[in-house]
Amino acid sequence: MEIAVDIQDLTVAYGDKPVLWDVDLQVPRGVLMAIIGPNGAGKTTLLKSTLGLVKPAAGSVRIFGKPYEQQRHLIAYVPQRSSVDWDFPTTVLDVVLMGRYGHLGWLRRPGRAERAAALAALEQVQLADFAHRQIGQLSGGQQQRVFLARALAQDAEIYFMDEPFQGVDAVTERAIINILRDLRAAGKTVVVVHHDLQTVTEYFDQVALINVRRIAAGPVHDVFTEANLRATYGGRLALLETSRVAAPASSAAPAPGD
């Protein structure tokens, strides 16, 4: 199996406090992988250091065997929705167009081809009618889909998403997971920081359990076990009893994000 993302010995510290300690993680090509773990476990930091947004103290990240800097055009990124100011004076279409900037040269302005790509991406997330709205006029779920559309416009091989289901309603969650499955069907690799343990077995092929260290990673039916979850969440896992561990999940209503 071809490895899309290969993370070796990754250690990240803020000040003298380690946030990630010696993490190894391999993401095979063409899978949907969830990164789960308690708050403050370093999930977002793992994503950001993989993308070069946070400088690791040690370790290496390779994308299809090469350093990240050489493979940027193969990567798409969906940051947390709360990471930007939604009152910013710009339209939905403009934000999605930003997904094409990585493919444009320094002095080229986005033209007709870029607009067409951005509109197609908006179509995919069912927001084409909102193209000319100011982004602050959208609901939380719609804003999340704008970020998703921007990533789709990047036309990448690997998609990194930081809590794409955060604060969205059940219908939007369904729409987003369908898009992720379409990406997988097209041979793309998707890595998602995820919060809701209830849906892990239903949505994902692979899962990485992180709490500063890597607790376990691999196919969901192998590693999403009670023992691993206890090791990751410690005593804080009240959800454990109700979630179906390493077994097909029924269609339980998705828990709202916090």
Binding footprint of another protein on the chain (CB under 8 A): 48, 51-53, 69, 72, 75, 77, 79, 83-85, 88-91, 94-95, 98, 101-102, 104, 106-107, 109-110, 134, 136, 150, 154
Residue type, 82: S
Select 49 or 232, whichever has its Cβ closest to another protein.
49
CB of 206 to another protein, least distance (A): 22
Residues 6+ apart with CB under 8 A from 44: 80, 162, 193
- Displacement of CA 88 from its chain's centroid (Å): 23
- Displacement of CA 191 from its chain's centroid (Å): 5
Instruction: In whole angstroms, give the CA distance from residue 97 to residue 115.
Output: 7
Select 145 or 254, whichever has its Cβ closest to another protein.
145
Select 14 or 171, whichever has its Cβ closest to another protein.
14
Give counts: helices (H), strands (E), the chain.
8, 10
Reference 74, options 57, 87, 62; nearest CA is 62
CB of 109 to another protein, least distance (A): 6
Instruction: In whole angstroms, give the CA distance from residue 151 to residue 180.
Output: 11
Select 129 or 222, whichever has its Cβ closest to another protein.
129
CB of 2 to another protein, least distance (A): 23
CB of 104 to another protein, least distance (A): 7
